[in-house]
Amino acid sequence: MRVLVVKTSSMGDVLHTLPALTDAANCIPDITFDWVVEENFSLIPSWHFAVDEVIPVAIRRWRKNWFAKAIRQERQQFIAHLRHQQYDCIIDAQGLIKSAFLITRKARGIKHGLDRQSIKEPIASWFYDVKHHVPKQMHAIERVRLLFAKSLDYTQPDSIGDYAIARHFLSALPTDNQQYLVFLHATTREEKHWTEAAWRELIELIEPTGLKIKLPWGALHEQARALRLAQGFNHVEVLPKLSLNEIATIIAGSKAVVSVDTGLSHLTAALDRPNITLFGKTDPKLIGGYGKNQHSIISTDKTMQSISANEVYQQLTDFI
């Protein structure tokens, strides 16, 4: 049985889809998946054992110059490649008009998706042959798991979902025996940032434990913040710019992670590493860390400033 998954972005949403594939593979032994995903996240599906082909799409890049000749040719090539395969089932787990109109409707096979009451953009459901009701007040991962179970006609397992990608990194783990922590300090929205003073206080609290701390970054302003956080501390390493695969390997080898609300926090959960995620305004009940040893610290006044370094350290001591 060959199934096409349409889940293009963002990083967290792509990672949230992985346990549904594991469920399906365990319930339907001969199943294989192709996956349409934004080019920036195309590595993630390839880490899962049930994915045969990753089909990158570049809607984010295309829309910057939609009518340019080169972009039009890229889109045509993408559609031709997509239509080359006849699928037994197509599951649109994105639930947006752009995914349904630009991708799902063009693929060959019976198209499944959320119904109007369950979906974020109800018009998208027009493009599905079979529409499924999935309650909104469920964690995002459980919603996708239920959508897959209904689309492929099996009973959703009662057990916690398994991302099934940690095994991909077991043979590539760093050699320093998990004696370091990773602090994920970078996120896109300003209100999700923890204060630099609080990060530095936590770094100081960690120093007597003998553990090292690694600070990844993606953009230059994030590198600058990492350098400020590390200044004066010998046990802190500001990492070089890394690929997603390299960052995943670093996280997989860590003893534990402290993170703000960011895509890499969901990657940490998918890699089964102990993680403490800090939340201000965001309610983690529906989109927070899911999996083994995932813990949330939720601000009492919905601001990141009210979360203390000592509160984070006290939770962290359970893992170090």
pLDDT tens-digit readout, 96-136? 999 999 999 999 999 999 999 999 999 999 999 999 999 99
Q: Using CA of residue 59, residue 60, residue 66, residue 71, what is the dihedral sign?
A: negative
State residue 173's pLDDT score: 75
State residue 174's pLDDT score: 64
pLDDT tens-digit readout, 127-142? 999 999 999 999 999 9
**pLDDT band at residue 193 using 50, 70 and 90 as cut-offs:** very high
**Residue percentage of the chain with pLDDT more than 90:** 92
Phi, psi (degrees; rounded to nearest 5) at 96: -120, 155
Q: What pTM, to 2 d.p., does this model score?
A: 0.94
Q: Give me the mean pLDDT over the 189-201 stretch.
A: 96
Q: Cβ–Cβ contacts within 10 Å for residue 127, how many?
A: 18
**Residue percentage of the chain with pLDDT more than 70:** 98
Distance, CA of 108 to CA of 46 (rounded, Å): 22
Q: Using CA of residue 5, residue 44, residue 199, residue 204, what is the dihedral sign?
A: positive
What letter would DSSP give residue 304?
G
pLDDT tens-digit readout, 140-156? 999 999 999 999 999 99
- Tokens of residue 284, six digits: 């983690």
State residue 282's pLDDT score: 87
The single-letter code of the amino acid at 153 is: D
- Asked if residue 107 lies in contact with residue 24, where contact means CB atoms within 8 angstroms, the answer is no
**pLDDT band at residue 177 using 50, 70 and 90 as cut-offs:** low
Tell me the domain boundaries of the chain.
2-164, 167-317
If you write DSSP's letter for every residue of 164-230 in order, what string do you get?
--GGGGGGG--SSTT-EEEEE---SSGGGPPPHHHHHHHHHHHGGGT-EEEE--SSHHHHHHHHHHH
Q: Give me the mean pLDDT over the 197-217 stretch.
A: 97
Q: Give me the mean pLDDT over the 59-75 stretch.
A: 95
**pLDDT band at residue 171 using 50, 70 and 90 as cut-offs:** confident
Rounded to the nearest 10 degrees, the angle between the axes of helix 309-316 and helix 196-206 is 40
State residue 176's pLDDT score: 57
Q: Cβ–Cβ contacts within 10 Å for residue 185, how many?
A: 20
Query: Fold match between 2-164 and 167-317?
Result: yes
Distance, CA of 96 to CA of 21 (rounded, Å): 20
- Tokens of residue 56, six digits: 């990158």
Q: What is the mean pLDDT of the chain?
A: 95
Distances (CA, A) of 141 to 33, 138, 278, 290: 18, 8, 20, 8
Question: Domain 167-317 in CATH: superfamily?
Answer: Glycogen Phosphorylase B; (3.40.50.2000)
Q: Is 114 helix (H, G, I), strand (E, B) or coil?
A: strand
Q: Is the peptide bond before 259 cis (omega within 30 degrees of 0)?
A: no
The architecture that CATH gives domain 2-164 is: 3-Layer(aba) Sandwich (3.40)
Distances (CA, A) of 121 to 95, 125, 212, 271: 7, 8, 45, 31
For the cut 80, the answer to whether the pLDDT of residue 41 exceeds it is yes
Q: Give me the mean pLDDT over the 186-206 stretch.
A: 96
State residue 50's pLDDT score: 98
State residue 20's pLDDT score: 98
